[in-house]
Amino acid sequence: MKSETEDTPLFHKPLSRRKLLGGAATAAVVLVQTAVGKTVQAAIPEAAVIPDDPTKKQGPLPSELGTRSAYEKPVRKPSDTSSRTPLQDLYGTITPADLHYERHHGGVPTINPEEYELYIHGLVEKPMKFTLSDLKRFPAFSRICFLECSGNFRSNPAGKITPQEIAGLTSQSEWTGVLLSTLFREVGIKPNATWFLAEGSDAAVMTRSIPVKKGLQDGMIAYAQNGEAIRPEQGYPARLFLPGWEGNTSVKWLRRIEFSDAPFMTREETSKYTEPVKDGKIRQFSFDMDARSIITFPTYPVQVEKGWIEIRGIAWSGRGKITKVEVSTDAGKTWQLARLQDPVLDKAHTYFRHLWQWNGTETEIMSRAVDETGYTQPTFNQLVAARGDNKGGYHFNPITTWLIQWDGQVLNKPDK
């Protein structure tokens, strides 16, 4: 005599006539194996083949931390030295904190906020030490601003490259902290102090020399990002933040500020963060990030259809606000004004849109940004002409071109 266990399918009991005929709970009959390896018929519940009706089932209860939908999986693209923000997967201008691009020189240090200390000394009246709690006692200041690595440019000869890979070393957050001007008044800067050294707590002991006037203008020490404590990869528990300047100057895990009457000429500002210009000359202390834009839709690997397409993307400038973005849909022969999404903020990513009807013929689309100083985003060839063949990889902000093939496949058009 067979036991019930031997004949019972692993997950389903034998079918009844009511289930086969009627069926509200039965959607299909399939063959399954029992625990002893015998193949028998079994009914598959409707829920197993038809997605749950969310109005008929209690969902998860409130949780401690939110999660993304299982259908949404934006990820950064890491390399040995950085992780790039998936620009083509984002909406609006704020970058989720966990998708903010990442770049550091000695890994991410672990710092106990209870033991954190910031020293300010050098040409000051009162050398002082601040704990994290001390910093949070000063008036808090928040602003929305982009951050960008000075080496934010990649290309691919085959054109199979996304906005994330080309320019994903820029992201935007709402940063909160204390203004440097507040701390500078607290320690009393001496009249001959024109520069200060910012030093990090990472394994590379990252250092940069910064003009005092920039710190007084809009520099801050940020301890929060998008409403939460700044993340370890972004400098937890506190970092320097210099709006509009190349990202390496916003030293993370900040532990020391020293004032001087001259730049300190560290490794990062002599052999590293410099770029060649024409005739063998080298540009040093090129802090401001130039105006730039990039279309984020449609781009590789999207395939579009004939008809109306909303071309959209982001534009930004380290020297102020974006005043206009122009879009070309005929390989640069003509340009049309794109719509800028309010608010257009100082030194911030600005969202732009342009509605276009594609007739199915092969063409090239591109965008170029203009900022309030009148600077216009250059072409690749204009940059090469200004710098020579040894153009280096820093502060390279050319117009990016996307080729739309006759079948709707979108590829990046490599610069030459």
| Tokens at 3, concatenated | 């036991």
d(CA 224, CA 184): 20
Residue 269 pLDDT = 85
d(CA 121, CA 143): 27
pLDDT, tens digit, 9 for 90 and up, residues 307-362: 999 999 999 999 999 999 999 999 999 999 999 999 999 999 999 999 999 999 99
Are 129 and 256 a contacting pair, CB within 8 Å? no
Q: Where in the chain is the domain with CATH 3.90.420.10?
A: 77-274
pLDDT, tens digit, 9 for 90 and up, residues 70-125: 999 999 999 988 999 999 999 999 999 999 999 999 999 999 999 999 999 999 99
| Tokens at 131, concatenated | 């704990």
**Of the candidates 160, 166, 155, which has an alpha carbon nearest to the alpha carbon of residue 411?**
160
Local structure of residue 231 (DSSP, 8 states)? P
Domain 292-412, classified CATH 2.60.40.650, yes or no: yes
pLDDT, tens digit, 9 for 90 and up, residues 232-281: 999 999 999 999 999 999 999 999 999 999 999 888 888 788 887 777 78
**Of the candidates 198, 201, 236, which has an alpha carbon nearest to the alpha carbon of residue 214?**
198
Question: Per-residue pLDDT for 131 more than 70?
Answer: yes
Are 291 and 322 a contacting pair, CB within 8 Å? yes
User: 255 has which bridge partners?
Assistant: none
**What is the residue whose two structure tokens read 């090239």?**
364
Three-state secondary structure of 363-416? EEEEEEEEECCCCECCCHHHHHHHHCCCCCCCCCCCCCEEEECCCCEEEECCCC
| Architecture of the 77-274 domain | Alpha-Beta Complex (3.90)
Angle at 415 between CA 86 and CA 410, to 5 degrees: 50
Q: Where in the chain is the domain with CATH 2.60.40.650?
A: 292-412
pLDDT, tens digit, 9 for 90 and up, residues 225-242: 999 999 999 999 999 999
Q: Residue 211: how many CB atoms within 10 A of its CB? A: 15
pTM of the model: 0.86
d(CA 24, CA 271): 73
**pLDDT class for 40, splitting at 50, 70, 90?**
low
E-assigned strand segments in 236-349? 239-241, 254-260, 275-276, 282-283, 292-297, 307-316, 322-328, 336-337, 339-340
Are 199 and 207 a contacting pair, CB within 8 Å? yes
| Tokens at 29, concatenated | 């009959």
